[in-house]
Amino acid sequence: MPVSPTYPGVYIEEIPSGVRTIVGVATNIAAFVGRAVSGPVAEATTIESFADFERIFGGLSLDFPMSYSVNDFFQNGGSQAIIVRLFKPTSAAAPGVAQLTATGTVALPLVASSPGTWGNALVATTDTDQITDEIAQLYGFKDQKTGQLFNLTIKETVNGQILSQERFLNLVSVQKDAKGNPIPLPGAAQSQLVDRVLAQSSQLALVAPPPAAPAAGPAPGPAPAPAPAPAAPPPRR
């Protein structure tokens, strides 16, 4: 603030400079936008290592140059990368998400967790190994037959080699009665619903959504008015 002189002399006033110190910023963070084998589409995903990229986006592939760019980034000291995967389906009718059906004790329709041809390598099976009546009772069922608990195994297999595998135990799906209405599940079994478990924990597959209901046709219009009665002939004179 200005100095108020009270006696003759030399006064010194220091005025702050308008120059601001340049603050250093991190130079080991990068963003990559491009195609990848698998993974979420049009969504920014932060990774801390190339191992994260392999787990989420499928690793190195000659058909996807971005994978090599990300690998080189981490090889040269990069510490954090933001990945945005791009994917263009061939048509609106073919979104590019592989469909499959788990075989075994329960036939369960599934879809790959993300679009891409990688989903064609998925194989799923269900079984009831080591599921006893005592385990069914823990989830509120009378016995295993009533609860219909099952295990689910999902594998990604390429040329006979298992690239990734997931196994989920003691799952349950919504059952329906003779009229097609869902049967209420015990409270303890709600956490084991297969669609909920896969949505929270699976990197490979999700439960297929139910088929869309057919579009309703146009509402019927009003009934046509009856034709008027013919006029009576004029009287004869």
CA distance readout (Å), 44 to 24, 34, 94, 201, 237:
25, 11, 24, 19, 96
Beta-sheet strands, E only, within the chain:
29-34, 44-47, 80-85, 99-104, 108-112, 122-127, 150-158, 161-171, 205-207
Domain with CATH 3.30.1490.450 in the chain: 29-85
Query: Each residue of 210-232: pLDDT tens digit?
Result: 776 665 566 666 666 676 666 66
Per-residue DSSP letters for 75-100?
A: HTT--EEEEEE----SBTTB----EE
Fold classification of 29-85 is Dna Ligase; domain 1 (3.30.1490)
Residue 172: partners with Cβ closer than 8 Å, 6 or more residues away: 139, 147, 148, 149, 150, 185, 189, 192, 193, 194
Summarize pLDDT for 158-176 with one digit per residue, the tens.
Answer: 888 998 999 999 999 877 7
- pLDDT reported for residue 166: 96
| Distance (Å, whole) CA 36 – CA 135 | 41
Enter the pTM of the model: 0.72
**Is the distance from CB of 60 to CB of 163 less than 8 angstroms?**
no
Length of the chain: 237
The model's confidence at residue 203, banded by pLDDT at 50, 70 and 90, is very high
Provide CB contacts within 8 A for 105, sequence distance 6+: 126, 127, 128, 150
Q: How far apart are CA 201 and CA 154, in angstroms?
A: 12
Q: Return the pLDDT at 55.
A: 92
pLDDT of residue 26: 77
Q: Provide the pairing of β-strand 44-47 with 80-85.
A: antiparallel
* Gap between the Cα atoms of 30 and 82, Å rounded: 6
pLDDT tens per residue across span 54-70: 999 998 999 999 999 99
Cα gap 141→122, rounded to integer Å:
31
Ramachandran angles phi, psi of 126, nearest 5°: -125, 150
